[in-house]
Amino acid sequence: MITHNFTLSALCYHFSVRPRAHPGGDIGSTFDMQVARDAHMPTHVLAAIQTGQNPSIPPMMLPIDITLFAHAFPVELNVPPAVPGTPAPIPRYVQIGDSQFLMVNLPVVPITVPHLSSLPLLLLFGMQLETDTHALSFRLLPVNVVEEFPNAAAMSTVLSQQPSETFEGTYRHNQGLWRNILAMSLNNSKILDLVQMVWNITTEARRIRYRPSR
């Protein structure tokens, strides 16, 4: 499976910025991200935390286009109102030490989700920055499980036989992704159907793996 660091990098790549961790402390109303190339810029940055997260842990900062986000996820966000006549975020050079970096200052939108590490993947496909559902399946299940498609029973059986670390990581990730989809009301039937199928396969694999032996 693909780690959230990979999907965070992919999300940032689509918006032409580099991943940047929040330094901690006050979230603030805006956040600077380094521009990777002169191309499509994000309009906002999500300051994402997980339900029940320790308040001392900084949020994950995720660039978004607010129009694409609103179309994909019809949920209420605390989006700061734009002052009339405010231009779209424009990159500018910032002096840091002896070097200059091209940065873009983005309005911060706080969000709390059930599962933080799967959120970058959901944003990638929910906002249709990536659309290959075949590729998505390989980000949710081990290769030898996907190879059994469309035989759901075989997929569950093969998944149930994975090493413990692989199985438990797959289970937690797919459970978290499905919870995020429900919480954020994903408005994409193709992705919704795929993840629901994967979650059903995953829960059946868990039942097979832990059923009492006779």
Read off the pLDDT of residues 64-113 as tens digits, 9 standing for 90 and up.
999 999 999 998 887 876 666 566 788 888 887 788 899 999 999 999 99
Residue 96 is classified by DSSP as E
Q: What is the pTM of this model?
A: 0.91
Amino acid at position 207, single letter: R
Q: Which residue has the tokens 């797959």?
A: 170
Does residue 105 sit in the same domain as residue 140? no
Does residue 76 sit in the same domain as residue 168? no
Residue 98 class from Cβ within 10 Å (0-12 exposed, 13-18 middle, 19+ buried)?
exposed
Specify the number of domains making up the chain. 2
Per the domain annotation, does 119 fall within a domain? no
Q: Which two tokens stand for residue 148?
A: 């059994």
Does residue 11 sit in the same domain as residue 109? yes
pLDDT above 90: percentage of residues in the chain: 78
Does residue 65 sit in the same domain as residue 29? yes
> So what's the pLDDT on residue 161?
96
Does residue 141 sit in the same domain as residue 201? yes
> So what's the pLDDT on residue 82?
66
Does residue 75 sit in the same domain as residue 176? no
Does residue 180 sit in the same domain as residue 106? no
Tens digit of each residue's pLDDT (9 = 90 or more) over 173-193: 999 999 999 999 999 999 999
Per the domain annotation, does 123 fall within a domain? no
Does residue 96 sit in the same domain as residue 137? no
Per the domain annotation, does 159 fall within a domain? yes
Residue 157 class from Cβ within 10 Å (0-12 exposed, 13-18 middle, 19+ buried)?
middle
Domain hosting 47: range is 4-113
Does residue 109 sit in the same domain as residue 149? no
Q: Is residue 3 pLDDT above 90, yes or no?
A: no
Per the domain annotation, does 64 fall within a domain? yes
